[in-house]
Structure 1
Amino acid sequence: MIDPSIQQRYQSACQQASYNLLRHPQATMAEQLNQLAKEVAEDEQRDVYGSGQLIEDFEYQIAELLGKEAALFLPTGTLAQPLALKVHSLQTGKTDVALHPSSHLLLHEQMGIEHLWGLNPQAIGDPQQPIKPADLKALNAEPLGALLIELPMREIGGQLPAWDSLKEQSQWARENGIRRHLDGARLWQTPDFYQRGLDEISALFDSVYVSFYKDLGGISGAVLAADTKFIQQAKIWARRAGGNLISLYPEILAARRGLRENLPMMPDAVRYAHALGSALAELKGVEVTPDPPQAAMFHLTFAISRQRLADKISLYVQEQGVVILPLPRSGDSHRAVCEVTIGRNAMTQPQSFWLRHMKQFIATL
């Protein structure tokens, strides 16, 4: 754990900083609410328990974007994903789920997939590499009801499997009667790498989850997309799990706005990340994963303790007014890993600006 005093110092310094490498500009709550008020057409009405033109039109828009028959807007991905796997389990009569060791469901959800949803996760593949077809072929497919694949893979720097590998994995699951679910929390970043549309990527999967706050700047919220029968069952389970809120219109308005404003620039963000990450890999004192970056994100590893790096980062932001890194998300007494996600903030400056500051920062370590 990073010392709370360092976290507080970092957060305070970030609020005063003039430049930020990470994500998109962050509006204040008042600014964001004013922006959303301008989003509302005169004839639009708030959604009520998942019904109404506002939410239904947005769900249709996302379903069409992903090439699916139907979609369901949900408050969180932590609900959307195990819910999807539960429906797949009921449809196949099997409770085992194959997923990567770095999956969010295994690392960050208090094992709700087991304790709440009654499913049996099987971690497969190398923890530092995307799942490969050989990993699947080594499995006993008989008890598997679903296969979960994350694109891109957040915990290992945004790595992506090659397109042919992805197709082979999807085909293996289909041939073995295993449902395919896509953890697409950051799916918006992938079309540039694959040179394919979101619908073509999603076509390899039976169900797809996407998030609206990570890359698109929304407040919160997720969509689960699949065929109509699947979504009908998902609505029942969302109700059972307390996810059928009386109204979600602020989240829907923010998601709609973020989709319109931030999705079109994602290919530029991916290319910027690729170039910046490749340049950073030339510096001594830092390791870039993957090298080169494959999505609009990458990880930077420093040979320094997590606590010490956090202190150095906080001090740099205080002194320079430049947010060059987030606090480390993982590490130990010998190494620390920071996650860099590229958005509008980074792209306001030439890459030479961030390289200069990174060199200056590394010199302080």
Structure 2
Amino acid sequence: MIARMSDAVDDRDGTAAGGGHGGVAGEGDAPPPTLRARRIAAWRAAPRVLARPGFLAPLSERLALLEAAGGVYDLDEDSDIYGNGVVEALERRVAGLLGTEAAAFFPTGTMAQQVALRCWAGRTGNPAVALHPLSHPEVHERNAFSQVSGLRPVRVTDEPRLPTAAEVRDFEEPFGTLMLELPLRDAGFVLPSWEELTGVVDAAREREAVVHFDGARLWECTEHFGRSPAEIAGLADSVYVSFYKSLDAFGGAALAGPAGLVEEARAWRHRYGGNVFQQFPTALSALIGLERELPRLPEYVRHARVVAAALREGFAAGGLPWSRVHPEVPHTFDFQVWLPYDAEVVAEAAIRAAEETGSMPFANYWDPRGPGLASTEVYVRAAALEWTAGDVRTAAEEFAGRLLRRAAAPA
């Protein structure tokens, strides 16, 4: 899905719902607000929200983030021009954290990964990229690999998990690069075990393929693996990391790996239009995120497991006939919730719960998964630490009751 809170690009939940006209609106009538507009309005107004990602905050709050910039970089230095200064400082910081020879800043992760895989295709002589069909380039990038970069994606497995070593080893056609998304977001932010991951990497190397990690959320994988970012990144030949998905920066990404690859990537970055004149606000916000948020991510993961367990208990206490928290024990601080109702029904219930109670456990978009089935993503960050297990159970039980009452009401 595209209009999630963390990738809020379009208005997938834009169908008008509730509070509008019974028939066709007359001339001059304002259209009723969309579900998305109501959801964000409720999110901003509710005193208690489980997830408060910074990018949905007003501009005044986002700009206030830079008040901490003096603590991460000397603001008396000259501003950056085409990637020097604070951008170079950020690149050095990322390379140090990931244990790589070099890193290059990119305005978007889409560009960073296209460039990385294009470079590897040139070096291996094989444009085929083995990846999962639920990986970000396949679902969210409009076929950019083939349309822009001339690469050929091949799908290793259709199972909602990362590929196994056997699947990589026995895949029926050659490929130059294996790309692994850590975690695999659209499958439920799932990760393999450390042993499974090392086995998959070894299997790719047996085939003389290089390994690239889509590590947009690599920062939040350390608790699951019990390894540092450098140890995780050290398994791959290159890795991309995001600055806004886990660290609440304004945007931006980095590609890290061998110095020669990163130098080539800088040339392609220029060709792709990514050598932006000045990027100091984004670079400073990324440095602030590395300083403030990165040390807190393991705590968020641990609390996500508390939240997930409490949601299951609350749904059961509320009498829901069926519900699913996936993964049952979250691998990162993000996970999915599945409920047996149409997406618009659950979305309406979530909005009304926030409007009527001031408490909003489900602030994200509900994705239709089939007839009478919907899912959403739950994010656990600093705001969620204020919710005890009891708070979550109570909110989930009330939400379950709200859904059951709506289902029982006459049409």
**If the length of structure 1 is used for normalisation, what is the TM-score?**
0.96
C-alpha displacement of 1:141: 5.1
What residue is the counterpart of 1:241 in the other structure? 272
Give distance in 1, aligned partners of 2:290 and 2:213: 19
Q: 1:29 aligns with which of 54, 59, 73?
A: 59
SS in 1 for 2:176: strand
How does 1:171-320 map onto structure 2 within 5 Å? 171-282=202-313, 283-284=315-316, 285=320, 286-320=323-357
209-218 vs 124-133, which deviates more? Answer: 124-133
Q: Which residue does 2:361 correspond to in 1? A: 324
Cα offsets for 1:42-100 (capped at 9, x unmatched): 42222111123x11111011011001000011111111111111111011111000001
| Deviations 1:279-298, CA, capped at 9 Å, x for gaps | 32343332011111111111
Aligned 8 A contact 1:289 1:299 in 2 = yes
Corresponding position of 2:153:
121
Q: Secondary structure at the match of 1:209?
A: strand
CA–CA distance in structure 2, aligned partners of residues 241 and 330 of structure 1? 35
Are 1:352 and 2:390 matched, yes or no? Answer: yes
Q: What is the root-mean-square deviation of aligned Cα atoms in Å? A: 1.5
Between the aligned partners of 2:163 and 2:66, the Cα distance in structure 1 is: 40
Contact 1:215 1:343 in 2 (8 A): no
**Are the aligned partners of 1:80 and 1:222 in contact in 2 as well (CA < 8 Å)?**
yes
Asked if 1:46 is matched to 2:75, the reply is: no
Distance in 2 (alpha carbons) for counterparts of 1:196 and 1:230: 25
**What are the residue-to-residue correspondences of 1:65-214 with 2, within 5 Å?**
65-140=97-172, 142=174, 144-214=175-245
Change (3 A) 1:38 1:292: closer
Contact 1:102–1:127 (Cα < 8 Å) also in 2? no
Q: Secondary structure of 1:122's match?
A: strand
Moved more, 316-325 or 67-76: 316-325
The amino acid that maps onto 1:279 is A
| Alignment check: 8 A CA contact 1:101 1:127 kept | no
Unaligned runs of 5+ in 1: none
Q: Which has the higher contact order (CA 8 A, sep 6+)?
A: 1
Q: Tell me, yes or no, if the aligned pair for 2:342 and 2:368 is still in contact at 8 Å.
A: no
Contact in 2 for aligned 1:76/1:222 (Cα 8 Å)? yes
C-alpha distance in structure 2 between counterparts of 1:199 and 1:330, whole Å? 38
Pair 1:333 & 2:362 matched: no
Deviation at 1:299, TM superposition (A): 0.3
Residue type of the partner of 2:65?
Q
Structure with higher Rg: it is 2
Contact conserved, 1:23 with 1:215, CA < 8 A, in 2? Answer: no
> What CA distance in whole angstroms lies between the structure 1 residues aligned with 2:401 and 2:215?
37
The count of corresponding residues between Structure 1 and Structure 2 is: 363
The SS at the match of 2:293 is helix
Residue identity matched to 2:382: R
Q: Could you tell me how far apart the structure 2 residues matched to 1:329 and 1:217 are?
A: 23
Return closer, same or farther for 1:37/1:278 CA change in 2, 3 Å cut-off.
Answer: closer
Q: Contact between 1:20 and 1:322, CA under 8 Å: does it hold in 2?
A: yes
| CA–CA distance in structure 2, aligned partners of residues 257 and 205 of structure 1 | 26
Structure-1 separation of matches of 2:61 and 2:137: 33
1:18 aligns with 2:47: yes
Give the stretch that moved more between structures: 32-41 or 129-138: 32-41
* Structure 2 unaligned residues grouped into runs of 5+: 1-11, 17-33, 404-411
8 Å CA contact 2:169, 2:204 repeated in 1: no
1:38 is displaced (CA, Å) by 4.6
What secondary structure is seen at the aligned counterpart in 1 of 2:92? helix
Give the CA deviation at 1:265.
Answer: 0.8
- Give me the whole-angstrom Cα distance separating, in 2, the residues matched to 1:330 and 1:67: 41
Taking structure 2 as the reference length, what is the TM-score of the superposition?
0.85
Q: Distance in 2 between matches of 1:228 and 1:43?
A: 29
For 2:246, what is the secondary structure of its paired residue? coil
Deviation, 1:247, is 1.1
* 3-state SS of 2:267 partner: helix
> Which amino acid is 2:36 matched to?
Q
Partners of 1:24 and 1:344 within 8 A in 2: no
- CA displacement at 1:37 relative to structure 2: 4.6
SS in 2 for 1:181: strand
